Amino acid sequence: MKIYVLPEETLTIKGSCDTFRIDEDVKFECISGKGWPPLQLNWFINDSPAPNEYLISSKPSVDPNGLVQTNLTLSFKADREFFQHDNLRIRCAASLMFIYELKTIEYLIDGSKPKRSSSYRRYSTAQINSKEMPKISGVRDKYNVNDVANLNCSTTIPNAQLSWFINGRKANGSNLIVHRGVRNRKEETILGIRFVMEKKYFQTEEMELQCTAYYIKTIADFQEQAIIRTFNSEFLLSHSSSCSSVWQKFDLICSIVMLSLSKALSAFILDSFSIRFNQ
């Protein structure tokens, strides 16, 4: 049985502020909730995956119950090309996924096919039914030494990967053939195997032909985003600043502009009164 614990909290993005000037260092941390298995975090800049050189990984923390909290830091310079209309969007995303394994086995005893086969489910859930199990076809009732076995394994599970095993050993890739088909109006993945029945296969009491289907199942998706702003002001671009002081400088610019407008308005009013008085 595959056990998982969904985090009670969604992703959290932490950063010093949301306003930066061009070429200033941007640094944000994405933190997952506590769960199992650990979430794999990913950063995106304007919906494009962040380059690996922008990412800083930290050691996950584990609580007394064995639940894991992961974090991933995004660190880069606020390049002008990142900003669209003076805005830049960063997004942290994670998915909780499992790799499921379904296998079907056919047995040959003394070269003959007995009236039995087996299907196994590993990490299965109620959502996995018998129709999804891989199917082996083409097995003859009797084989002799030097006969050619030509078998197929198929599944309708989307994006599944198939593998063949002979007596527990993975089959040689040169013996495999990949096909595509349709079964019950569903796209079908087919992996064929063609090999010679060598004498060694008859030296054991039982020969095992196994086909295994692997596929990834997404249990939950998480994401959180933040909008970063910048300004094109000549004042902000020509003065050194830190993230914490950007708003102060912007306020200063606004104050200077308002003061200039106030002085201009006062001068206009005084001039108007002076003209009327002289008339």
Residue scoring higher pLDDT (34 or 3): 34
pLDDT at 277 over 70: no
Nearest to 174 by CA among 188, 195, 155: 195
Query: Going by DSSP bridges, is the β-strand pair 186-196/68-69 parallel, antiparallel, or unpaired?
Result: unpaired
Q: What is the largest CA-CA distance in the chain?
A: 125
Fold match between domain 12-98+220-241 and domain 100-217: yes
CATH H-level superfamily of 100-217: Immunoglobulins (2.60.40.10)
pLDDT at 85 over 80: no
d(C-alpha 257, C-alpha 251), whole Å: 10
pLDDT in tens, 112-161: 666 455 554 444 343 455 667 899 999 988 888 899 999 999 998 888 99
pLDDT in tens, 177-209: 988 776 656 788 999 999 999 988 888 778 899
d(C-alpha 114, C-alpha 205), whole Å: 12
Q: Which helix (H) or strand (E) holds 75?
A: strand 71-77
Nearest to 71 by CA among 5, 15, 2: 15
d(C-alpha 156, C-alpha 102), whole Å: 12
Residue scoring higher pLDDT (109 or 56): 56
CATH class of the domain at 12-98+220-241: mainly beta
d(C-alpha 16, C-alpha 9), whole Å: 21
Which residues lie closer than 8 Å to 143 by C-beta, 6 or more apart? 108, 111, 112, 149, 197
pLDDT at 237 over 60: no
| pLDDT value of position 116 | 53
pLDDT at 270 over 50: yes
At residue 234 the predicted structure's pLDDT band, cuts being 50, 70 and 90, is very low
The position carrying tokens 């992703």 is 11
Q: What is the DSSP letter of 186?
A: E
d(C-alpha 217, C-alpha 2), whole Å: 12
Residues in a beta bridge with 206:
109
Alpha-carbon torsion (192, 197, 202, 203), positive or negative: negative
Scored b (16 or more CB within 10 A) or e, 143-176 reads: beeeeebebbbbbbbeebebbbbbeeeebeeeeb
| pLDDT value of position 193 | 96
Distances (CA, A) of 92 to 19, 221, 245: 18, 11, 26
| pLDDT value of position 124 | 39
Cα-Cα end-to-end distance for the chain: 98
| pLDDT value of position 235 | 40
pLDDT at 81 over 60: yes
- Exposure of 60 in the CB half-sphere (CA atoms within 13 A): 17
Peptide bond preceding 64: is omega within 30 degrees of 0, i.e. cis?
A: no
Tokens standing for 204? 């054991």
Percent of the chain with pLDDT over 70: 72
d(C-alpha 265, C-alpha 85), whole Å: 32
d(C-alpha 24, C-alpha 14), whole Å: 17
Structural domain boundaries in the chain: 12-98+220-241, 100-217, 242-273
